[in-house]
Amino acid sequence: MTNDLMDEEQSTGPGELRYGRPNGDFAAYDDLPSLPGTDEHYSWHVWGAGDQIGTMNRLTSETVLEARNSIVTGEVVSLSLPLDEPKPGLFEGREPYQRHEVRTNTGREDRINNLDLQFSSQWDGLRHIEHRIAGYYGGRDDAELDAGALGIQHLAARGIVARGVLLDVPAYYAATGRPYSADVRTALDPADVEGILAHQDVDLRYGDILVIRTGWIDWYLSLTDQKRASLRGTVRRGEGGIECAGLRGNIAMARWLWNSGLAGVASDNATVEALPVTREDGFLHRRVLPLLGMPFGELWSLRELSARCWAAGRYSFLLTSAPLNIPAGVASPANALAIL
């Protein structure tokens, strides 16, 4: 089916953009081609059939230059956890790295073994999630991925420089006197996100990266080793597993993310979307990564950024991130900085 979908839409000439234009205009979600038999839409030809980086194409020279205006004080805040946190790994099979330091004739060197690129603060690349009907982004199949398509090196080669916008969920709930717990599922609808943005007096612009603080990773890191161990492997369990706030996983949220013109979304929880994933809402990863080509950042460290934004009374900043240049890589440590 994926090849049929590709054939249906390949009506433009080389280098032409059927649904988008280099000046930043783009089709609304509902005007994109629809996936047969569903209410979902896909964006594979907005940037051409051979595209490898999806919505990160929205990071144009113009958006980068505009993002410079978000720097006021020049303060720099790291948005990455230590590479060995959170430990133990949240998913079965994701183990902490092993570091070995050796002395040489001239000093020291160190080597890392067993580095899981999705263990700590990370970007999920477009090889990460497959749609059950449509395959990977662009309608690609496993053979094309085995040949190197959609590797994180494509994103690493251009780098990520954007205007970042912090969505501070627990701060909003506290300011409005509403109950909130980081370890309880709170599914944010588009109206919720826009309400928080309005409360913070910040807007979204084409090419922004939305950075969502739920407070979940701070809650998790405060737990005892025994309690952390009991949560390992429960992200996908559903009832009785890890709970956290995040974006609702339904089509309305996928539509909003696309129509907002975002280049990407990152959060301090394990999934960007609310956990547990429910049948009613669906799986946002599957709607956004393979169909819309929008990378997700997960397990980012946002406590200090929240404090700095609150103190300054502003929630936008220059965001930089340098994914590792790993050929055919599925994911990468985020290596993200906020420059205020």
Instruction: State pLDDT tens for residues 97-141.
Output: 888 899 989 999 898 888 889 999 999 999 999 999 999 999 999
Q: pLDDT-based confidence at 1, cuts 50/70/90?
A: very low
Average pLDDT over residues 48-62: 94
What is the reported pLDDT for 237?
67
In a domain, 264, yes or no: yes
What is the reported pLDDT for 200?
98
What is the reported pLDDT for 17?
38
Report the domain count for the chain.
1
**Exposed/middle/buried for 234, CB within 10 Å: 0-12, 13-18, 19+?**
middle
Would you say residue 242 has pLDDT above 50? yes
Average pLDDT over residues 210-233: 94
Contacts of 301 (CB under 8 A, 6+ apart): 78, 79, 80, 81, 121, 217, 268
In a domain, 230, yes or no: yes
What is the reported pLDDT for 238?
60
Coil vs helix vs strand at 69: helix
In a domain, 222, yes or no: yes
Contacts of 93 (CB under 8 A, 6+ apart): none
Q: How is residue 168 written in tokens?
A: 């501070």
Q: pLDDT-based confidence at 25, cuts 50/70/90?
A: low
Average pLDDT over residues 1-6: 49
Percentage above 90 pLDDT, the chain: 79
What is the reported pLDDT for 114?
87
Triad 205, 300, 139: Cα angle to 5°? 65
In a domain, 81, yes or no: yes
Would you say residue 8 has pLDDT above 80? no
d(CA 238, CA 241): 5
Would you say residue 3 has pLDDT above 70? no
What is the reported pLDDT for 22?
45
Secondary structure string (H, E, C) spanning 245-277: EEECCCHHHHHHHHHCCCCEEEECCCCCECECC
Residues 118/94, Cβ–Cβ less than 8 Å: yes
What is the reported pLDDT for 9?
42
In a domain, 297, yes or no: yes
pTM: 0.91
Would you say residue 172 has pLDDT above 70? yes
In a domain, 11, yes or no: no
In a domain, 179, yes or no: yes
Residues 219/191, Cβ–Cβ less than 8 Å: no
Whole-number mean pLDDT of the chain?
Answer: 90
Q: How is residue 151 written in tokens?
A: 């590797």
Percentage above 70 pLDDT, the chain: 91
Q: pLDDT-based confidence at 214, cuts 50/70/90?
A: very high
Residue 159: CATH number of its domain: 3.50.30.50
Nearest one of 258, 262, 256, 255 to 204, comparing CA atoms = 262
CA dihedral sign, ordered 68, 69, 73, 78: negative
Average pLDDT over residues 167-184: 96
What is the reported pLDDT for 241?
80
Q: How many CB atoms lie within 10 A of CB 100?
A: 9
Q: pLDDT-based confidence at 5, cuts 50/70/90?
A: low
What is the reported pLDDT for 208?
96
- Structural domain boundaries, residue 231: 53-86+114-339
In a domain, 108, yes or no: no
